[in-house]
Structure 1
Amino acid sequence: MMAKNIADIVMRNLFENEDSSEDEAAINLPNIGLQIMRELDEDIPAGVQGLQEIVELLERRDRVAVPLYVEQTVPLYSDEEFVSHFRMKRGVVNDLSVRFRNTEIFRSLLGHGGYEPVTPEKHVLVFLWFVGHQTASYRDVGDRFDLSISCLHDVITRMINFLLELAPTVICFPTEAEKQTTKMHYLTTKGLPDVLGSVDGTHIRIDKPAEDKDAYINRKHYFSFQMQGAVNEKKQFIDVFIGYPGSVHDARVFANSSLSRDMHTLCRGGGYMLGDAAYPCMPQLITPYRDNGHLTVAQRQFNMTHSSCRISVEHAFGKLKQRFRQLYHLKLQDMRRMVQLVHACCVLHNLADLDDLNIFEPPDVDDLPDPEAHRILGVVDPAPAADEDGNPDDLPTGQNLRDELCRQLVARRHN
Structure 2
Amino acid sequence: MEAFGPVMLHLLLAEEEEERERKQQRHIGRAPVQRPKDKALPVSAHKQPVHGMRRTPKPRVFRERTGLEVFTEEEIIQRYRLNRSAINELYELIKGDIDPLTQRSHAIPGMVKLLNCLHFFASGSFQTRTSSIGGVSQSAFSRFMGPVIDSIKKHLKAYIYFPKDKAGWQRVKRGFYRIAGMPHVMGVLDCMHIALSPPHEREELYRNSKGFHSVNVQVICDCKGKILSIYSAFPGSSQDSVILKQTSVYEAFENGKLTGGWLIGGPGYTCQPWLLTAVANPTTTAEDSFNEAHARTHSVIERTFSSLKSQFKCLDKPGGVLQYNPTRVADIIVVCCILHNIGIKHNVLENFACEADDDELEALLSGEPELGDNSLAVHSRIIKDYFSGQSSWSQPDTG
Task: Answer whether TM exceeds 0.5 for this pair.
Answer: yes
Q: Which residue of 2 aligns with 1:174?
A: 163
Q: Given the alignment, which residue of 308, 314, 331 partners 2:302?
A: 314
Q: Is the 8 A contact 1:88 1:353 kept in 2?
A: no
Q: Which residue of 2 aligns with 1:81?
A: 75
Confirm whether residue 353 of structure 1 aligns to residue 330 of structure 2.
no
User: Structure 1 or 2: larger helix share?
Assistant: 1
Confirm whether residue 68 of structure 1 aligns to residue 65 of structure 2.
yes
Q: Given the alignment, which residue of 339, 362, 373 partners 2:330?
A: 339
SS of the equivalent of 2:193 reads strand
Confirm whether residue 404 of structure 1 aligns to residue 381 of structure 2.
yes
Confirm whether residue 90 of structure 1 aligns to residue 84 of structure 2.
yes
Confirm whether residue 186 of structure 1 aligns to residue 176 of structure 2.
yes
The correspondence of residues 175-324 of structure 1 with structure 2, limited to 5 A, is 175=164, 176-264=166-254, 268-291=258-281, 295-324=283-312
Q: Which residue of 1 aligns with 2:147?
A: 158
Tell me the distance in 1 between the aligned counterparts of 2:118 and 2:306: 18
Question: Deviation of residue 413 (structure 1)?
Answer: 9.2
Tell me the distance in 1 between the aligned counterparts of 2:378 and 2:227: 25
> Do the aligned partners of residues 399 and 82 (structure 1) sit closer, same or farther apart at CA in structure 2, a change above 3 Å counting?
same
Question: Deviation of residue 137 (structure 1)?
Answer: 1.5
Question: Deviation of residue 412 (structure 1)?
Answer: 5.2
Tell me the distance in 2 between the aligned counterparts of 1:167 and 1:84: 24
> Do the aligned partners of residues 191 and 266 (structure 1) sit closer, same or farther apart at CA in structure 2, a change above 3 Å counting?
farther
Tell me the distance in 1 between the aligned counterparts of 2:108 and 2:167: 41
Q: Is the 8 A contact 2:187 2:264 kept in 1?
A: yes
Give the CA RMSD over aligned residues. 2.8
Tell me the distance in 2 between the aligned counterparts of 1:166 and 1:274: 27
SS of the equivalent of 1:352 reads helix
Q: Is the 8 A contact 2:315 2:322 kept in 1?
A: no
1:245-286 CA-to-partner distances (Å, cap 9, x unmatched) read 112211111111222122257863411111012112112111
Tell me the distance in 2 between the aligned counterparts of 1:409 and 1:156: 50
> Do the aligned partners of residues 42 and 221 (structure 1) sit closer, same or farther apart at CA in structure 2, a change above 3 Å counting?
farther
Amino acid of the structure 2 residue aligned with 1:152: F
SS of the equivalent of 1:69 reads coil
Q: Which residue of 1 aligns with 2:394?
A: none
Tell me the distance in 1 between the aligned counterparts of 2:255 and 2:168: 14
Tell me the distance in 1 between the aligned counterparts of 2:311 and 2:63: 24
The correspondence of residues 20-59 of structure 1 with structure 2, limited to 5 A, is none
Tell me the distance in 1 between the aligned counterparts of 2:257 and 2:381: 18
Tell me the distance in 2 between the aligned counterparts of 1:150 and 1:262: 44
Q: Is the 8 A contact 1:236 1:350 kept in 2?
A: yes
> Do the aligned partners of residues 265 and 159 (structure 1) sit closer, same or farther apart at CA in structure 2, a change above 3 Å counting?
farther
Aligned length: 310
Q: Is the 8 A contact 1:322 1:357 kept in 2?
A: no
Amino acid of the structure 1 residue aligned with 2:343: A
TM-score normalised per structure 2:
0.71
Tell me the distance in 1 between the aligned counterparts of 2:196 and 2:274: 33
Question: Deviation of residue 121 (structure 1)?
Answer: 1.9
Question: Deviation of residue 42 (structure 1)?
Answer: 7.5
Confirm whether residue 141 of structure 1 aligns to residue 130 of structure 2.
yes
1:131-154 CA-to-partner distances (Å, cap 9, x unmatched) read 1112x1212122222223232123
Q: Which runs of 4+ in 1 moved over 3 A?
A: 114-117, 264-269, 353-358, 411-414
Q: Is the 8 A contact 2:153 2:334 kept in 1?
A: yes
Structure 2: state its 5+ residue gaps.
1-42, 46-57, 351-371, 392-399
Tell me the distance in 2 between the aligned counterparts of 1:324 and 1:275: 25
Percentage of pairs with the same residue: 21
Tell me the distance in 2 between the aligned counterparts of 1:396 and 1:266: 11
> Do the aligned partners of residues 117 and 253 (structure 1) sit closer, same or farther apart at CA in structure 2, a change above 3 Å counting?
same
Tell me the distance in 2 between the aligned counterparts of 1:185 and 1:142: 42
Structure 1: state its 5+ residue gaps.
1-40, 44-56, 359-394
1:335-392 CA-to-partner distances (Å, cap 9, x unmatched) read 111111111111111100386568xxxxxxxxxxxxxxxxxxxxxxxxxxxxxxxxxx
Q: Which residue of 1 aligns with 2:26?
A: none
> Which range is displaced more, 275-284 or 187-196?
187-196
Question: Deviation of residue 116 (structure 1)?
Answer: 5.3
SS of the equivalent of 2:198 reads coil
1:388-412 CA-to-partner distances (Å, cap 9, x unmatched) read xxxxxxx961111111111112245
Question: Deviation of residue 288 (structure 1)?
Answer: 1.1
> Do the aligned partners of residues 111 and 252 (structure 1) sit closer, same or farther apart at CA in structure 2, a change above 3 Å counting?
same
TM-score normalised per structure 1:
0.68
Question: Deviation of residue 90 (structure 1)?
Answer: 1.1
Tell me the distance in 1 between the aligned counterparts of 2:107 and 2:224: 38
Tell me the distance in 1 between the aligned counterparts of 2:253 and 2:105: 49
Question: Deviation of residue 312 (structure 1)?
Answer: 0.9
Tell me the distance in 2 between the aligned counterparts of 1:265 and 1:125: 43
Question: Deviation of residue 98 (structure 1)?
Answer: 1.8
